[in-house]
Amino acid sequence: MGKVVDSSIFRVKMFDVEKYERARCKVCGADFWSKIPRDNCNDAPCADYTFFDIKLGTSPLTVKEVRDKFLRFFNERGHTIIDPHPVVARWRDDLYLTIASIVVFQPHVTSGLVPPPANPLVIAQPCIRLEDIDSVGYTFGRHLTNFIMGGHHAFNYPNERVYFTHETVEYAKEFFTKEIGIPEEELTFKESWWEGGGNAGPCFEVAVGGLEIATLVFMMYDVTPEGYREMPLKIVDTGYGIERIAWLTQKTPTAFHAIYGYLVPKYHKLLNVSEPPEDLLKVAVKYVGRLNPKNPKLFELLKKNVSIELGMSLEEVSAYLDRTIKLYALLDYVKTAMLLLSDGVVPSNSGEGYLARLVIRRILRLLNVLGSDATLIHDLFDNQIKYWVDLYPQVRGKEAYIHDVLDHEVRKFNESLSKAPSLIRRYVVKGAKGLSEDELIELYDSHGIPPEVIADLSRELGVEVSVPEDFYNKLAARHSRAPVKKVVKSKIPEYVVTEVAGLPATKALFHEDPYVKEFTAEVVKVIKNYVVLDRTAFYPEGGGQEGDSGVLIVDGRKFKVVDTQKVGSVVIHVLEDSMPADYVGRRVVGVIDWDRRFNLMRHHTATHIILGVARKVLGSHVWQAGAEKTPLRGRLDITHYKSVSEEELKQIEELANKVIVEGREVKVHYMPKYEAEKRYGFVLYEGGVVLEPVIRVVEIEGLDAEACFGTHLKNTREVGALKIVKVERIADGVVRFEYVAGTQVSAYAQELESKIKKAEEVVGGDLNLRIPSLIKELETLKNKLNTYRKLYFNELKKSMYSELRSLGSVRYLVKYLADVEEELLKEVLQELTAENPDAVLIVATPRKAGGVNLEISEGRKASEVIKANELFKQVLTVFKGRGGGKADHATGYVEVENHVELIEVLESLLKNVLKA
RNA sequence: GGGCCGGUAGCUCAGCCUGGAAGAGCGCUCGGCUUGCAACCGAGAGGUCCCGGGUUCAAGUCCCGGCCGGUCCA
């Protein structure tokens, strides 16, 4: 299905009533609505920035004031105010960042699975978008990596309409004209199309004086691999640019001045960047609307225009602007990184942590380019934290963590930079005449050395390197398309899934009482060895807990259950052998393998304990990055930015055992989604996202609360004991714990004991005593061996030397040695040839596969007369074999059993060569 | 999750393309020079060439698999 835009949706009532005209932009060709006639759509880059000249009916507003006005305006019109969510979208597994306010409600609300927390509602949501990261600064604040999106949303169900296009446009007009005081004739509504987070729909882009200040989306489609599919819900999804509106009212030369206030001069001072005169910025910003960040030539043109208009030299304009826009980018990047770190992101080389590292690396690179020390980053953050802590309360209390992480990142960055000179030298030498584009890209892609650093360093080496303008595009081309997301393969065959899909939900006895070991039920469906019952105590695989095994008994006949899975809320028992199809309707007794299940439960509850304890010991940036529970052991990956110290590990294990001994209650309660999120926060979704209105919360009092499907113990005491058996860093920023609980602790100890016992049997006694003495013994033997080896070495050398016979300009030796260590022989030959440049030494030794190994070794002078490899070739004309080498050394094998014959042949060959 | 780069002496690395006897600088030990230090000169010790297979007469080098680290991109 293709895009279906019925343009009648854009004919809203207000345009009729207020006499708006529909027109087409002469630059971009888009259709738009305006009260007065216009040539263009009034939006950058089709129009210059003219909003500075518009007289507004309000005084300048700060970001916070705009936000509050926005929330109040919609609240007064029946919208419930919703608290903003984190900038890291932990409630979603298809998205790392909160890129829009609607993301907060996707996909659980937009799909219709869960009702919205209120309807209609309004939210001021901090968002992060990194796709325009390269443009930040150049456009004086039109592009930012973080911003607050003011969104008012209405969710229209087929049987419950709230409001849609007409009211949305009316609200926009009213808000902008009455609250912000924009004259109505300055407003334009451009027809467009929006897509994001799996949904799409037509939209209006609202602009004033070249600046887009809001997008009004009418979300109507799901984006599927097959195309657009109409949604049952019709959703009003609006995005008001809070920062842009503040800029508009303040009329500062850049959005950065409006957003960051006193931080702008402060950063100029800290970074030692001169502030451009105000008229320079004011002149420049007019042209900024026309900038296309992908075309750097436009920026050069801008500078030229400014220099002409001000009568200032181009060099002076460049000197001001080039550095200042980098400073603007820093303001934005630092705030984005601050928000990411405040939400507990741990920088890493993969996953969401990479996004944090990406931003921090940009900051460090800009500091480098501006000639500041990397450690200045701490000051940059401190100032922003102070400035923003009121508007973003989540930053409070995170200062220590942020600085610790920054320290770590600065160190890593410096380490990779310190490797740069030698790496570049290697490439420069290789390439001779400089660095090719490919090499430039490889240096960045594989070693993280930014192109500007490469250019600097190679210049020092006397090689000019030019960085191509489209460097990052070329880099992108190197990374092939992102692979299609792997579809998790069901362990149940497709035909079973479809047959089972329509069945009523299986009653989950394992949830009602996780201690049920035996139960009776009725057979509902049989497909070969796949059996569905009306109720079951068999736990189906999920939430990182393996499915149960056990036995089903029908009329005394036993069927072994090897696995349990679920399709939707239907539980499928996987049998070893098929069950007769006519068993449907019969009574069945189910018995689960309780030993196995109880071990699973202990490891599952233990996993929650360790996670809770790790957060306490290491910090609130610790999130679950993966987990697995088997009957034998548990495994938990957490995010953490350094390796866990011995001390911390001990603390975690001790605290976990304390929690076990204390006997804390493990409570399971069902709770409305929004209430649970409010009470516990998004730590709930450690184990995965839950798309249901009511969620099952497993809570260990005062330690941990997670949305979890698994079976848990009633009390932590039942875990018995816990031992962490392994800790490793599986990726930068991710630490893996492996641990055993309950009876497995003893099993683990037994295993250790038997290992030690076996080892002690081998060494004969206490390991702690025997190993040092064995090492000593080994040393003594080594020394002795060395003594004898040296003796033999000298003997062999001496005897070989005495056997040298003169022949022309060389002295030679041909010898068969039956028992000699290969290494030792080589050493003797090397020394002899080094000391006797005229020596030609040929030694044959026995070869396991038959025949002999032949080694020809020559001194420097001798090798000029007779080339060892050529001599070998001649040997091979007489005997079968293979071999080769170089002038002073050749090796190989020869198929000959009679050594005397071999030696005779060699001697005659030698003589022949020397004669010729 | 994927691409790329790397793993050789205590450290920084060369050698790998094109297979043929394991290298350099720094550091270390000893000696010389010097009032002493630094520098300098001389000698020496120091190696699981990440691991496992394969190809080959021969593998640090080529091929396959794995481990570890780095880095870029989702």
Of all nucleotides, the one whose C1′ comes closest to residue A729's CA is B68
Q: What's the Å distance between residue A239 CA and nucleotide B71 C1'?
A: 36
Give the pLDDT score at A429.
Answer: 60
Q: What's the Å distance between residue A860 CA and nucleotide B8 C1'?
A: 28
Give the pLDDT score at A913.
Answer: 83
Question: How far from chain centre, in Å, is Cα A410?
Answer: 19
Under the phi-then-psi rule, with left for phi > 0, alpha for psi from -120 to 50, and beta for the rest, what region is A635? beta
Bases on strand B under 7 Å from any protein CB = 1-5, 12-14, 20-21, 56-58, 68-74
Grouping H, G, I as helix, E, B as strand and the rest as coil, residue A834 is helix
Question: How far from chain centre, in Å, is Cα A160?
Answer: 41
More confident residue, A111 or A13: A13
CA distance A727 to A732: 14
Of all nucleotides, the one whose C1′ comes closest to residue A447's CA is B71
The pLDDT tens digits for A379-430 are 999 999 999 999 999 999 999 999 999 999 998 888 888 888 778 877 766 5
Query: What is the residue type of A1?
Result: M
Give the pLDDT score at A572.
Answer: 95
Question: How far from chain centre, in Å, is Cα A368?
Answer: 25
Neighbours of A411 (CB within 10 A): 11
CA distance A910 to A879: 15
Q: Is the pLDDT of residue A98 over 70?
A: yes
Q: What's the Å distance between residue A826 CA and nucleotide B21 C1'?
A: 7
Q: What's the Å distance between residue A414 CA and nucleotide B42 C1'?
A: 39
Of all nucleotides, the one whose C1′ comes closest to residue A419's CA is B12
Looking at residues A30-34, what average pLDDT do you find? 95
Q: Is the pLDDT of residue A483 over 50?
A: no
CA separation, residue A817 to residues A284, A790, A796, A810 (Å): 88, 18, 10, 22
Looking at residues A201-217, what average pLDDT do you find? 95
First to last CA, chain A: 87
Q: Is the pLDDT of residue A482 over 50?
A: no
Which residue lies nearest B20, CA-to-C1' measured?
A: A885
Where does the pLDDT of residue A822 fall: very low under 50, low under 70, confident under 90, or very high at 90 and above? confident
The pLDDT tens digits for A590-625 are 999 999 999 999 999 999 999 999 999 999 999 998
Which residue lies nearest B13, CA-to-C1' measured?
A: A422
Where does the pLDDT of residue A481 fall: very low under 50, low under 70, confident under 90, or very high at 90 and above? very low
Nearby residues of A181 by Cβ (< 8 Å), 6 or more positions away: A56, A57, A58
Cβ burial A133-144 (10 Å sphere, 16+ → b, else e): bebbbbbbbbbb
Of all nucleotides, the one whose C1′ comes closest to residue A853's CA is B57
Lowest mean pLDDT segment, chosen from A68-72, A394-398, A438-442, A600-604: A438-442
Give the pLDDT score at A33.
Answer: 96
Where does the pLDDT of residue A353 fall: very low under 50, low under 70, confident under 90, or very high at 90 and above? confident
Lowest mean pLDDT segment, chosen from A169-173, A551-555, A822-826: A822-826
Closest to A866 (Cα-Cα) out of A819, A800, A814, A912: A912
Give the pLDDT score at A759.
Answer: 82
Asked if A217 contacts A237 with a C-beta cutoff of 8 angstroms, the reply is yes
The pLDDT tens digits for A645-676 are 888 999 999 999 999 999 999 999 999 999 99
Q: What are phi and psi of A107, to 5 degrees?
A: -95, 0
Q: What are phi and psi of A437, to 5 degrees?
A: -60, -40
Where does the pLDDT of residue A729 fall: very low under 50, low under 70, confident under 90, or very high at 90 and above? confident
Looking at residues A320-329, what average pLDDT do you find? 94
Judged on CB neighbours under 10 Å (0-12, 13-18, 19+), A750 is: exposed
Q: What's the Å distance between residue A415 CA and nucleotide B44 C1'?
A: 34
Neighbours of A272 (CB within 10 A): 11
Query: What is the residue type of A746?
Result: S
CA separation, residue A307 to residues A237, A290, A326, A526, A668 (Å): 43, 17, 20, 82, 70
Where does the pLDDT of residue A690 fall: very low under 50, low under 70, confident under 90, or very high at 90 and above? confident
Report the share of chain A in percent with pLDDT over 70. 97
Q: What's the Å distance between residue A726 CA and nucleotide B50 C1'?
A: 21
Of all nucleotides, the one whose C1′ comes closest to residue A854's CA is B57
Where does the pLDDT of residue A62 fall: very low under 50, low under 70, confident under 90, or very high at 90 and above? very high
Q: Is the pLDDT of residue A431 over 50?
A: no
Q: Is the pLDDT of residue A488 over 70?
A: no
CA distance A694 to A671: 5
CA distance A691 to A585: 33
Of all nucleotides, the one whose C1′ comes closest to residue A482's CA is B74
Of all nucleotides, the one whose C1′ comes closest to residue A358's CA is B72
Q: What's the Å distance between residue A873 CA and nucleotide B20 C1'?
A: 14
CA distance A773 to A419: 43
Q: What's the Å distance between residue A480 CA and nucleotide B49 C1'?
A: 34
Where does the pLDDT of residue A1 fall: very low under 50, low under 70, confident under 90, or very high at 90 and above? very low
Where does the pLDDT of residue A487 fall: very low under 50, low under 70, confident under 90, or very high at 90 and above? very low
The pLDDT tens digits for A235-291 are 999 999 999 999 999 999 999 999 999 999 999 999 999 999 989 998 888 888 777
Q: What's the Å distance between residue A783 CA and nucleotide B70 C1'?
A: 41
Report the share of chain A in percent with pLDDT over 90. 61
Of all nucleotides, the one whose C1′ comes closest to residue A426's CA is B14
Residue A879 structure tokens = 């005997």
Which pTM value belongs to this model? 0.87
Lowest mean pLDDT segment, chosen from A147-156, A351-360, A461-470, A800-809: A461-470
Which residue lies nearest B72, CA-to-C1' measured?
A: A445
Looking at residues A62-85, what average pLDDT do you find? 97
Neighbours of A796 (CB within 10 A): 18
Q: What's the Å distance between residue A856 CA and nucleotide B18 C1'?
A: 23
Q: Which helix (H) or strand (E) holds A212?
A: strand A211-224
